[in-house]
Amino acid sequence: MFQITRKLDISEYSKGDRMIIAVISAGGHSLKSKIFSIKNKNEMAVLGRADIDEIKVRGNSNFLHRVGIKRAARESVRLKGLEAAVKLVFDWYIKSGIISGYGDIGAVGLKCIFKDKSGACILTKKLLDELKQSTSASRACNQLNIEVIEIIKSMFDVPVAIMFDSSFHYSIPEFRRLSGFPWNWYKKLGIKKRGYDGFSHQYMAAITRKIEKAEKMNLITIYLGESSSICAIKNKRSIDTSMVFSPSSGLLQKNAIGDIDGTALLFAMDELNLSVEEAQNEITKNAGLLATAGIRKGNFKNILSAARKGSKRAKLTVDLYIDTVRKYIGAFSTILGNIDCIVFGGEIGESSAYIREKCLENMDYMGIRLDLARNKELNNALSLISSDYSVVSKTKIYIVPVNGDMVMAYFTKKVIEKGKDLPPEEMTFRL
């Protein structure tokens, strides 16, 4: 088992040789944030984390918070609206001693998606106006983050950097981006593969390279959580990924559809007399893992639990999810030619020994074999879980607890220091 974290003593950082960066993302009805300290030589540490789920107009929300690497605490809070949630989070950071006041924050990084925009960009009025004019494909993803940007600008007088989540996938060959739709849809509307979850895949790849002490490797990174995607990485560059035009594509998502037949969607719209907005709402909020399993609220653990208790729909959902992951592993192994490492991350990928086992079951013929005991024993830990039986297992298998926010903080510092936007080809993350 590998261990790369250490106990954090916040007092060790003097104010003069570090930059304090807040990284924030909003999606659905949730707000997630972390505060990082980055020293001049890019030594990074997480000072604290604060997340709020299900921000409600009425009722209570769950508030998860943690100082450094201490055990996370959870409490129920009553708040109204996104602005109240943002202020609660930063007031908690002050109360906990993570920062002494708003003035400690040197920069803020936020994640967005927008057309073909990629890289890390300093927020300007022009960029904010462009984000506000997002098309329907990205409006739902950006809406809350735009609100957060405006709240942050009213609270802090600091630079804000916008991180575009598709940046890591800039290196996917153009022929793999084509969809087969009419050519003018590709040229005029920009309908093509873009890929998302880029910061998570970039982090998993960087950790694996660090452990393996190798720069040139063929990796399949499997990020499974509320958002799920798979990436084929050749020598530090993404060459294919499961998400296509929007973050709702590829694998089944928590509440979103995954890969679909476009004609089936048009048929449902016609039969149910749905508008574009209504159909968009159905396939991004009322579909996916929970809908297929027949579970209204919860997460993948609830689906697994229901399957074990005999729910046929839940069992079908789990089997479908696993089957799709396996198909992508097979497809990407063909693209890569050989696989040096398979890397699991994300809430499901890190915490479910069952899912990892089933995703890689009966792959000895590909040189892939789990050590079943390690897989269970080292659950949730940064660890090597492949078999040592080298005659069969030629591919190393890792669990890498993901910290995509660290990648965002890293590039936030870079873009602020340079005073100019970073194109995706310059966004190389190193630990």
Cβ-contact 282, 232 below 8 angstroms: no
DSSP letter for each residue of 185-243: HHHHS--S-----HHHHHHHHHHHHHHHT-SS-EEEEEE-SSS-EEEEEETTEEEEES-
Strand pairing class (160-164; 107-112): parallel
Over the Cα atoms of the chain, what is R_g? 21
b/e string for 84-114 if b means 16 or more Cβ within 10 A? bbbebbbebbeebebbeeeebbbbbbbbbbb
Cβ-contact 259, 225 below 8 angstroms: no
Comparing CA positions, the residue from 388, 400, 327, 399 lying closest to residue 356 is 399
Comparing CA positions, the residue from 155, 31, 149 lying closest to residue 85 is 31
Task: Give the integer Cα–Cα distance in Å for 104 and 90.
Answer: 11
Catalytic residue among 51, 104, 165, 340: 165
H or E element in which residue 357 lies: helix 353-359
Structure tokens at 313: 């729909």
Comparing CA positions, the residue from 255, 260, 195 lying closest to residue 230 is 195
Q: Please give the backbone phi and psi of residue 345, each rounded to the nearest 5 degrees, phi first.
A: -150, 180
Cβ-contact 374, 384 below 8 angstroms: yes
DSSP letter for each residue of 257-305: --S--HHHHHHHHHHHT--HHHHHHHHHHS-HHHHHHT-SS--HHHHHH
Question: What angle do helix axes 82-95 and 136-155 make, rounded to 10 degrees?
Answer: 50
Task: Give the integer Cα–Cα distance in Å for 327 and 323.
Answer: 6
> Which residues are within 8 A (CB) of 403 and not within 5 positions of it... i.e. 6 or more apart?
46, 203
Q: Is-catalytic flag, 165?
A: yes
Comparing CA positions, the residue from 201, 359, 380, 207 lying closest to residue 370 is 359
Cβ-contact 8, 47 below 8 angstroms: yes
Cα angle value 111/115/116 (rounded, 5°): 95
Task: Give the residue numbers annotated as catalytic, written as ranges.
Answer: 165
